[in-house]
Amino acid sequence: MNKLNFEYGSFRDPAGKIFYSEDEVYRELSEIGIKRFSFLKKDNLIKGLIKEKFLIATEECDKKCNEKFKIEPKKLLLKHEKINFISYPYEWTFTQLKDAALFHLDLQIYLLSRNAKLIDASAYNIQFKNNKPIFIDVLSIDEYSEGEYWYAHKQFCENFLNPLVLSAKKGISFNNWFRGNLEGIYTHQIAPLLSIKDFISPTLFFHIYLLNKFEEKSKIDPKKTNNKISSLKKFTKKSYQNLLNQLRNYIQGLNNKKTISNWDKYSEKNTYNSKEEEIKLNVIKNFIDNSNPKFLGDLGCNEGKYSEYASKQKEINVVGVDFDLNVLDRAYIRSKKQNLNFFPIYADFSNPSSGLGWNEVERKSFLKRSKFDAVIALALIHHLVIAKNIPLDQVIKWLIALAPTGLIEFVPKKDPTSQIMLKLKGDIFPQYTEENFANTLSKLANIKKISLVTDTERKIYEYSTK
């Protein structure tokens, strides 16, 4: 019998549980889930959702498949399309969260036109296939009953609207706040940060100010609040659609109130000349052609310039990682415009996403999700060792744990960028030498090639643990 590995993040859903087997994704449905899925099959709703690219490809397993996994006769097994990399809202840029919010509302509007609805508004139910959002929770879709209220309204505000408003109106990045509270940003937390001028907007007045007042009163008199909720049953479908469209129009018009970051102009003002940059790009191109990875990690990706060659190949998926939200946002927008196989996420490598949620396994750590075939880590190692005071050997071990092969650029102390960092701290890093770097790397992997790329003796080491 093939083993089914339980996905801990799906434990909250009584309608179905996610399992993995041989790198394939399955969902075992309970009685509630079977009822919902039966509704989805009615009038080919599920086929329409997949065709319109709202929902991941999903199919009902046949009898042979059920017997293979010893599924009880009363239960049902679905097979889902596998998303290459699972990301979380607190790893997204402003534009990524905005696109996810608009996608969620478009899906809601589509479903209502077919007498269906979403039963929740969790941002985690949306993932990205490279640069395009897709819905992954088939059991969050159920039949719509005329007159019912949008019960997931509060969750939508916490997961989507409030974080976007925080960044758009106050210039405060939502990422670390969202990561600290996996439910998003509560209305009572954001309301005090907004001004009277902000609440002139009918959308913010209704979805934040009034909702906050309503929640405050509910704490004082829960019985009275429940009576008010009961009176909301005559909420027409037209009113429902108008509410969704109002939110959509408002969110569509939001722009991030960005501040200039340290690496905003890195692509234009880095220390490489055109010849050195060409050498670097050729090293990467040759590595990609020879190693032929299917899943590449670009660590310290900036705008994704150095992994662009790989992301233009149809068979290669690239995840870029950086801690500068401004350049990541531009990278994402660029990926959309050029239709690249490139998806950037936010992470501070000195404090990457850890195991979070119930029992610390509900949301997986960055390391557990990063099953790269290869990585490129260019102009990164000196930032971790010198700027973050992380020991050189630990940085190398961490990088190699991410992929069996890759490129690591060593930036010596005499390089202008390293010099800037050393002036702030003094040279307190005697172990940071190329000799120590090469010795440590050679103990953990085979050094296949060393390429000199700049006059300041920046070098790219190609390694392999195979």
Per-position pLDDT tens, the chain of length 466? 456 688 878 888 888 999 898 889 999 999 999 999 999 999 999 999 999 999 999 999 887 787 788 877 778 999 999 999 999 999 999 999 999 999 999 999 999 999 999 999 999 999 999 899 999 999 999 999 999 989 999 999 999 999 999 999 999 999 999 999 999 999 999 999 999 999 999 999 999 999 999 888 877 666 555 555 555 557 899 999 999 999 999 999 999 987 765 555 555 555 567 888 999 999 999 999 999 999 999 999 999 999 999 999 889 999 999 999 999 999 999 999 999 999 999 999 999 999 999 989 899 999 999 999 999 999 999 999 999 999 999 999 999 999 999 999 999 999 998 999 998 888 899 999 999 999 999 999 999 999 999 888 999 999 999 8
Q: Residues 144-150: contacts with CB within 8 Å, 24+ apart?
A: 144/111, 144/112, 144/115, 144/116, 144/117, 144/237, 146/236, 146/237, 147/233, 147/234, 147/235, 147/236, 148/117, 148/233, 148/235, 149/229, 149/232, 149/233, 149/235, 150/235, 150/240, 150/243, 150/244
Extract the tokens encoding 285: 């191109």
**pLDDT reported for residue 433:** 95
Considering only CA atoms, which of 342, 269, 352 is closest in space to residue 306? 342
Burial grade of 295 (CB within 10 A; 0-12, 13-18, 19 or more) = middle
Considering only CA atoms, which of 127, 125, 200 is closest in space to residue 156? 125
Determine phi and psi for 377, rounding to 5 degrees: -125, 85
Paired strand residues for 345:
321
**pLDDT reported for residue 268:** 52
**pLDDT reported for residue 198:** 95
Q: What is the DSSP letter of 55?
A: B
Residue type present at position 137: D
- Contact in structure between 131 and 156 (CB atoms under 8 Å): no
Distance separating alpha carbons of residues 197 and 64, to the nearest angstrom? 62
**pLDDT reported for residue 1:** 45
**pLDDT reported for residue 253:** 97
